[in-house]
Amino acid sequence: MTDLHPRLQVLQSKLAASPLTRINDPELTDRQLELWIKRDDLLHPIISGNKWRKLKYILNHALHCGADSVVSMGGAYSNHLHALAYTGKALGLKTIGYIRGERPAQLNATLHDLLDWGMELRFVTRSDYRQLRDYQDHDSLPKFRSGQFWLPEGGATELALQGVAELVDEIEIDFDILAVACGTGTTLAGLLASPLTQTALGVAALKGGDFLIDDVEQLLSKQGMTSQADWRILVDYHFGGFAKTTPALLAFMQDFQQRHGIELEPIYTGKLLFAIYDLIRQDYFPAGQRIVAIHTGGLQGKRN
């Protein structure tokens, strides 16, 4: 058990519950399947979804290391930077965000929030941005000064796993499949870092997602872990690539939202639920199985 820094305890006490919502749908009952959504999107209006899970022990480590600032990177719509800027402000940590691409003439809603919460924005060229991906350790950034804590893109560090693993314990029903969308694969790795023995299904949100298998394995091995779960990553539900959509995806999301009252976004959770329904229609899941899909939040990105 890792001691949680008092400032994080205060923040944690402000979080809401993340209930399980059952999806009532004749398509499921016809096949004797159950689908439940783990509503991490309801945890907090800003630090929702997997963001709190991932940042919790990363920032705990930063605070225990005596960090005064956290530096990270992301795109102009980054859910990761959005959650980091807010959390940094709440914890009294300065935050700096390297943003991919030129500063736009008009800032979008995400960038406005970052500035409002005191994040220093540094716009970098795409090639400089790519180079930043080489730095993994929290003190590896060039010109690193003590007190600074570097956090790789998407919070993809082994420190993120413990917080995500806690989610699995919260699921109070028996289930067969736990499904989540993957960007960096860190959230999936966190699920696998728990005592999960069922099947874990990752749905890659980006094209060419086969590399995610190695990344997940590396994150686990850095923590000296191997998973007991049977896990796989589906790489064919990217809809053209990261942040790409198709009319079929958008129509599916709209229909799902209308019928079940749960908002999705097209980058991660829309693709996840589309994949699950597609697999259901292909009879991928044997009758009698209970599927839990994690709503990892990210709805803020839709405002832009």
Ligand X SMILES: Cc1ncc(COP(=O)(O)O)c(C=O)c1O
Q: In angstroms, rounded to a whole number, what is the distance separating the alpha carbons of residues 240 and 110?
A: 24
How far apart CA 226 and CA 193 sit, in angstroms, is 8
270 near ligand X (CB under 6 A): no
Q: Give the CB-nearest residue to ligand X.
A: 298
Min separation Cβ 296 and ligand X, Å: 3
Interaction between residue 18 and ligand X (CB under 6 A): no
The reply to whether 152 sits near ligand X by the rule CB under 6 A is no
State yes or no: residue 88 binds ligand X (CB under 6 A). no
Contact 49, 154 (CB under 8 A): no
Does position 182 bind ligand X by CB under 6 A? yes
* Closest to 259 measured CA to CA, from 9, 17, 25, 12: 25
- Tokens (6 digits) for 149: 């804590």
By CB under 6 A, the count of residues binding ligand X is 16
The residue from 44, 80, 138, 271 that contacts ligand X (CB under 6 A) is: 80
Contact pick of 187, 194, 289, 300 for ligand X (by CB under 6 A):
187
Q: Which C-beta is closer to ligand X: that of 88 or that of 185?
A: 185
Interaction with ligand X in 280-299: which residues (CB under 6 A)? 296-298
Amino acid at 115: L
Q: Does 186 bind ligand X (CB under 6 A)?
A: yes
- Stretches 23-31, 179-187, 233-241, 244-252: which one binds ligand X (CB under 6 A)? 179-187
Contact 80, 153 (CB under 8 A): yes
Residue 50 engages ligand X in binding (rule: CB under 6 A) = yes
Closest distance of CB 32 from ligand X, Å: 29
**What contacts 225, CB < 8 A, 6 or more positions away?**
161, 192, 193
Comparing CB distances to ligand X, the nearer of 189 and 279 is 189
- 74 binding ligand X? (CB under 6 A): no
Of residues 5, 37, 49, 163, which one binds ligand X by CB under 6 A?
49
* 268 is a contact residue toward ligand X (CB under 6 A): yes
> Restricting to residues 202-221, which ones interact with ligand X according to CB under 6 A?
none
Residues that bind ligand X (CB under 6 A): 49-50, 79-80, 154, 181-187, 268, 296-298
